Amino acid sequence: MQSVTSLDLRKITTENPLKVCFVCLGNICRSPTAEGVFQHIINRDGLSALVEVDSAGTAAYHVGEPANSKSRMIAEQNGVSLNSKARKFEYSDFDYFDLIIAMDKENLHELQRMDRKSQYRDKIFLLRDFDPVPGDMEVPDPYYGGINGFELVFEIVMRSCESLLDTARPHMSP
Ligand code: 4NP
Domains of the chain, each with CATH number or no CATH: 24-171 (3.40.50.2300)
Cβ of 156 below 6 Å from ligand 1 = no
Cβ of 26 below 6 Å from ligand 1 = yes
Contact between 154 and 75 (Cβ < 8 Å): yes
Cβ of 58 below 6 Å from ligand 1 = no
Overall pTM surpassing 0.75 (yes/no): yes
Catalytically active residues, by annotation? 24, 30, 141
* pLDDT, one tens digit for every residue, the chain (174 residues): 446 777 888 899 999 999 999 999 999 999 999 999 999 999 999 999 999 999 999 999 999 999 999 999 999 999 999 999 999 999 999 999 999 999 999 999 999 999 999 999 999 999 999 999 999 999 999 999 999 999 999 999 999 999 999 999 999 997
Query: Strand, coil or helix: what is 81?
Result: coil
- d(CA 51, ligand 1 centre) in Å: 26
Give buried/exposed letters for 61-71 (b at 16+ CB in 10 A, else e). ebeeeebbebb
